Amino acid sequence: MGSDKAPESEIRGAILAARQYDVRVHLAGPEHIIRPILRQHLRGQHLPVFIVPASEWITMDDKAAQAVRSKRDSSMRVGLKMVREGRAAGFFTAGNTGAAMATAKMVLGMLAGVERPALVAVLPTTQGTPSLLLDVGANVDCDPDNLVQFAVMGHMYAQNVLKIRAPRVGLLSIGEEDSKGNSLTRDTLPLLRALPGINFTGNVEGRDLYNGNNDVAVCDGFVGNVALKTSEGIAKLVTASLRESLKSTVTSQVGALLSRKAFANFKKRLDYSEYGGAPLLGVRGVCIVGHGSSNERAVMNGIRVTAEFAQAEVNASIEAALAAPAANG
Amino acid sequence: MGSDKAPESEIRGAILAARQYDVRVHLAGPEHIIRPILRQHLRGQHLPVFIVPASEWITMDDKAAQAVRSKRDSSMRVGLKMVREGRAAGFFTAGNTGAAMATAKMVLGMLAGVERPALVAVLPTTQGTPSLLLDVGANVDCDPDNLVQFAVMGHMYAQNVLKIRAPRVGLLSIGEEDSKGNSLTRDTLPLLRALPGINFTGNVEGRDLYNGNNDVAVCDGFVGNVALKTSEGIAKLVTASLRESLKSTVTSQVGALLSRKAFANFKKRLDYSEYGGAPLLGVRGVCIVGHGSSNERAVMNGIRVTAEFAQAEVNASIEAALAAPAANG
């Protein structure tokens, strides 16, 4: 019920996923709203798409903390309860990110050894491989132990879900030398160097998020969120400028045609809906948060990635790594 | 002597500036290196371009702090001394940014009321107007007073040099609501709200750096530097992806031709060499730091902006604003 075009995107995405992948999809929300749309799009097909009743839902405008407390029967809560009770392998939402994080933390609880959950951005790179940045959620004012836990979680996700054998893990800073950074990164660096089982490569810079030279970058949630929103801002600027340049370069009709094709193609390459959304790591269960503007294709991909995340047993690996004595300093 | 193609870019840029603007340009560096190249490019023209002898220079690979101490007769130091002694109105360098900041601080000293100098990125926006972000230098671990001083400095630069009548000043954070942010931004927000003479609009987000909805954004130097380098990274990614999409869309020859023209056009629109470099605010004098890859055109623009900065008397305005009782809390 959470996306900007809910429940249309969710229902159509669920049908696409059930058709294409070996998954059973449960749609949480009011049955009287979902049933007619589901029936309409199923057109008589028999597919494993079900409805789990939830009488209300959290909107994008709701304040996360308040909505989590007041909406006791929200679709998010109902969906995450299914995960807690083992009736679902994972939960995907394209709704309010803050509410999803808070609800997941409350309903699922935290993994042993993890103090705060981290939201992971899966970014495209010039080399075609994805790169991870965490936390991009709202863990402001982190301490070094938080960043160490983020590094372990990012490493395990990259290795088990993205199938990168020895993910290069970097600390997001403002220069490659160990001396560069703020007090948080300088205090964190030696802890990460001492961490066993992780391919830690030292400080990385903002450009390394997109050039394919790094697989997992860790930072506090303030820095990560600023980096992510800045990226969205300049990507829009570059795209708009190039579109304009292109149109002014050739005759208007040809230019418009070419740019339409090129930009559609380009959008697909960069579109992060293809990556399926942002995993929420550190909670005791599987949860992926998609963009509010998710279309049916993005929802389908989100469900696919949720299934991959659930099958990879990332969480057991994270708990094992953080239970090892060396990881606790 | 500082750019990647020094002294060629500097000498040719100085000639362009002396020809085009009402400026006298002094080139600091070894005379035996500069003289023959200057003579060659002047081709007998009489232009106000002079040489100020300096026996050494700081390279991009030099460690800033060490180079500032050990290279006592560097071209940066000689140039900045001319500013201190009133023999030059301002200093432009396309050299080592860290060394430029440290040398300027040491040679020029600080403005009254300013604790730390701030490096300002002048960013392009979708609306065509520039937007300022400071600090992007290396003021990590700032306190709220530092950010308040950055806000005053950014406001004065935007008003006096960019001629924006009432610059909209925002605090870079992770949400527009006052409650969003980390402990630094939450502590800074009330101070900025109470600051007289500034059009403070509250928290802004990363996307506001590029959408033209904000004129001056302040943040600590760690966050600003990460935002800037992340921007460079994704701009490269978007450009590369679009170029590829465009080439695959039309026949290869036509595609290559079109994309060459469109990208040249586009590059000019976004190229920050057009903005002339990053002002260093807070020191007792005028200093602009250009990109290491500056070509002659970038150097020419840097000299133009340095002259504009010097004529605007920004520094007197900053000292006056910070001397006002309310600005000191």
Number of A to B CB contacts under 8 A, please give it.
192
Domain of B106 in residue numbering reads as 1-114+282-311
Structural domains counted in chain B:
1
Residue at A277 is within a domain: no
Neighbours of B166 (CB within 10 A): 12
B257 touches chain A (CB under 8 A): no
The residue of chain A with its CA nearest to that of B63 is A177
A194 touches chain B (CB under 8 A): no
pLDDT at B257: 64
More confident residue, A255 or A38: A38
Least confident stretch, A144-148, A267-271, B119-123, B302-306:
A267-271
Verify that A106 and A150 share a domain, yes or no: no
Q: Which residues of A touch B206 (CB under 8 A)?
A: 225-233
pLDDT at A129: 87
Q: Shortest Cα distance from B70 to chain A (angstroms)?
A: 20
Verify that A148 and A69 share a domain, yes or no: no
Residue at A62 is within a domain: yes
The chain-wide mean pLDDT, for chain B, equals 91
Verify that A126 and A108 share a domain, yes or no: no
Residue B267 has pLDDT above 90, yes or no: no
CB B242 within 8 A of CB B155: no
More confident residue, A199 or A233: A199
pLDDT at B7: 97
Verify that A143 and A241 share a domain, yes or no: yes
Q: Do the chains contact at B242 and A239, CB–CB below 8 Å? A: yes
Verify that A234 and A320 share a domain, yes or no: no
CATH code, A212: 3.40.718.10
A252 touches chain B (CB under 8 A): no
Mean pLDDT in residue range B222-235: 92
Question: Looking at chain A, which runs of residues are DSSP E strands?
Answer: 25-29, 49-53, 91-93, 118-123, 131-134, 168-172, 199-204, 216-218, 278-281, 287-289
A209 touches chain B (CB under 8 A): yes
CB A219 within 8 A of CB A182: no
Residue B163 has pLDDT above 70, yes or no: yes
Interface of B with A in 259-318 (CB under 8 A): 261-263, 265-266, 269-270
Verify that A132 and A234 share a domain, yes or no: yes
Verify that A191 and A235 share a domain, yes or no: yes
Cα A195 from Cα A188, distance rounded (Å):
11
pLDDT at A255: 59
B60-81 tens-digit pLDDT: 999 988 999 999 999 999 999 9
Cα B176 from Cα B281, distance rounded (Å):
27
Residue B308, CA atoms < 13 Å, CB-side half-sphere: 20
Q: Do the chains contact at A233 and B140, CB–CB below 8 Å? A: no
Mean pLDDT in residue range B263-274: 60
Question: Looking at B154-256, which runs of residues are DSSP E strands?
Answer: 168-172, 199-204, 216-218
B256 touches chain A (CB under 8 A): no
Residue A187 has pLDDT above 70, yes or no: yes
- A183 closest CB neighbour out of B141, B174, B225: B141
Nearest to A206 by CA among A238, A180, A187: A180
Mean pLDDT in residue range B17-41: 97
Question: Looking at A30-134, which runs of residues are DSSP E strands?
Answer: 49-53, 91-93, 118-123, 131-134
Substitution target in B185, B207, B209, B237 with the highest count of A β-carbons within 10 Å is B237
A121-138 tens-digit pLDDT: 999 898 888 999 999 987
Residue A328 has pLDDT above 80, yes or no: no
Interface of B with A in 4-63 (CB under 8 A): none
More confident residue, A292 or A13: A13
Q: Do the chains contact at A206 and B228, CB–CB below 8 Å? A: yes
Tokens of A323: 């239970």
Q: Shortest Cα distance from A90 to chain B (angstroms)?
A: 28
DSSP state of B315: H
Least confident stretch, A105-119, A261-275, B36-50, B302-316:
A261-275
Q: Shortest Cα distance from A252 to chain B (angstroms)?
A: 13
Residue B114 has pLDDT above 50, yes or no: yes
Residue A54 has pLDDT above 60, yes or no: yes
Verify that A69 and A101 share a domain, yes or no: yes
Residue at B125 is within a domain: no
A253 touches chain B (CB under 8 A): no
Substitution target in A223, A237, A260, A274 with the highest count of B β-carbons within 10 Å is A237
Residue B235 has pLDDT above 90, yes or no: no
Kindly indicate the confidence band of residue A329, based on its pLDDT and cuts at 50, 70 and 90: very low
B181-206 tens-digit pLDDT: 999 999 999 999 999 999 999 999 99
